[in-house]
Amino acid sequence: MAWFARKWPDERHIFSQCPMNTDEDHMATRPVPPGKLRDLITIHYFFQPSLRQLGGLLHLASSTVGEYLRAFNRSSLSLADVQTLGDAVLRERLVPPRPKRQNRRQNELTNLFLAIHHNLSQNGKCLLREWEAYRKRQPRGYGYSQFTNLYAQWRSANRLPRPRVTRWALSLSSEDLKVFQAWRSSSNKRRWERAVALLGLGEGRTMKSICGKLERAPKTIKNWRLAFLEKGVGSLAIPSKKAVNKERLALIASKKERLVKIIHEPPSLHGINRTTWTLETLSSA
- Give the pLDDT confidence score for residue 150 in this predicted structure: 93
Mean of per-residue pLDDT scores for the chain: 80
Q: What's the whole-model pTM score?
A: 0.36
Between 131 and 25, whose confidence is greater? 131
Least confident interval from 25-34, 110-119, 172-181: 25-34
Please report which confidence band the pLDDT of residue 262 belongs to, taking 50, 70 and 90 as the band edges.
confident
pLDDT in tens, 199-241: 888 777 788 889 998 999 999 999 998 888 888 888 887 655 5
For residues 25-29, give the mean pLDDT: 44
Given pLDDT bands bounded at 50, 70 and 90, which one contains residue 274?
Answer: confident
Each residue of 159-209: pLDDT tens digit? 888 877 667 777 788 888 899 999 999 888 888 999 999 888 877 778 888
Task: Give the pLDDT band (50/70/90) at residue 154.
Answer: very high
pLDDT score of 279: 78
- 197-203's contacts with Cβ under 8 Å and 24+ in sequence apart are 197/221, 197/224, 197/225, 198/170, 198/172, 198/224, 198/225, 198/228, 198/236, 199/172, 201/124, 201/166, 201/168, 201/169, 201/170, 201/225, 202/124, 202/169, 202/170, 202/171, 202/172, 202/177, 203/123, 203/124
